[in-house]
Amino acid sequence: MAVGLTKLGFLTLQAVFISVLGLIPTYAGTWFGIRARNRLSPEHFRNSVLCMLIILGAALMMRVIPE
């Protein structure tokens, strides 16, 4: 797949760099989530995740919907 994307011009050094940088917050969030899951009850963890998704969804809608 990488060879095909490179031939098409979609896999550039800049794209690889951005992808690698994107792994940092991904792994940090995973680490934080595991630690939070181990400290909270399953119900509190589930509610925390749902609240975070609602907040992020609302923030995204506020950016997308024109005033």
**Which amino acid appears at position 4 of this protein?**
G
In this prediction the pTM is 0.63
DSSP state of 11: -
How confident is the model over 22-58, as pLDDT tens digits? Answer: 999 999 999 999 999 999 999 999 999 999 999 999 9
Q: Is the dihedral of CA 11, 15, 17, 23 positive or negative?
A: negative
At 2, the pLDDT band (50, 70, 90 cuts) reads: confident
Q: 63 or 23, which is more confident?
A: 23
Instruction: Output the pLDDT for position 22.
Output: 94
Examine the pLDDT at 67 and tell me if it is beyond 70. no
Instruction: Output the pLDDT for position 26.
Output: 95
Calculate the dihedral angle through the C-alpha atoms of 45, 49, 54, 60, rounding to the nearest 10 degrees. 160
User: How many structural domains comprise the chain?
Assistant: 1
Q: Domain limits at 25?
A: 2-64
Cα distance between residue 9 and residue 15, in whole Å: 10
